[in-house]
Copies of this chain bind each other. A is one copy, B any other.
């Protein structure tokens, strides 16, 4: 059982005043070599960690954390993040934590840039963001670095750019999870489809990673008789998303499993029952519409990316850094939760 030493304790042990101890610790100079040695001798013997509570009280600083994330009105996937933010704000308001939300449209780089500029102009101590647009995010990150604003990301990564904190899921591996589930369901012979459904393009790298993981699993398995076909059901200049889905359903005749790499499974889940009644869907994310179809057994599994947990964890890590000098663990990968009708409830809080 070790004692928690205070500066006063150390001063007494070393035979100097707490001022001198303080100067040694903060390397502020103005200390004689004799005194330095005396203090260091004590410091070597005992293990001193400053009391974070006293530190925090003295500091009495307000930390501004900016969060840049998509508007949940545009995509309900982001809604749980808001809850996490509210919760954190409540819990830590008395610790001097202020949070400033910046929302952007998930399909507009312009909106992203605008929201980012606005949020940065207020000179926060940290910026937590969803870097949906890699190039633009990189520029923002660069600006933060210059202004010595701590930078953290969640849900997505910035390629080739170091950040202080990076929280997300192993997307490649989540593709493998889906593949494994299909493998269990269908055994040796399977006709599979990977569907990228999205109205916008910014999730491209996300979707690709998942597809790669999915294929990787099957490639590694030997003596399996399978086929994987990839479809891009995106809105483009010529045809709408709905039309694209419709034509997909008309063209494809036999498919055992459909892996949908975005949270838009619900767009397929309903029409599919008339076209491909025996196909099984695995999708992503616990948004309300997906859960509805999960309950109706039109979606077999959902993979949960837990955006709420991602935000919560990011924010607590930032706060612990500011308040208690806790070092960042640069990259954190969250579990890949497998969801079915029987366990979705527990993940919703």
| A interface list, Cβ under 8 A from B | 1, 4, 49, 51-54, 56-57, 93-96, 98, 170, 173-174, 176-177, 179-181, 184-185, 217, 300, 333-343, 345-347
Contact = CB atoms under 8 A, between A and B. Distances in A.
Q: Tell which of A52, A93, A334, A336 has the most Cβ of chain B within 10 Å.
A: A336
Contacts of A185: 184-185
B170 A346 contact: yes
A345 B170 CA distance: 11
Contacts of A336: 342-343, 346
B94 A180 contact: no
A291 to B, nearest CB: 15
A1 B62 CA distance: 13
Contacts of A300: 184
Contact of A340 (B51, B93, B180): B180
A307 B264 CA distance: 34
A54 B54 CA distance: 8
Contacts of A1: 98
- Give 10 closest A-B pairs by Cβ, nearest first: A338-B338, A335-B346, A177-B342, A336-B343, A176-B342, A180-B342, A53-B57, A177-B343, A335-B347, A53-B56
B342 A335 contact: no
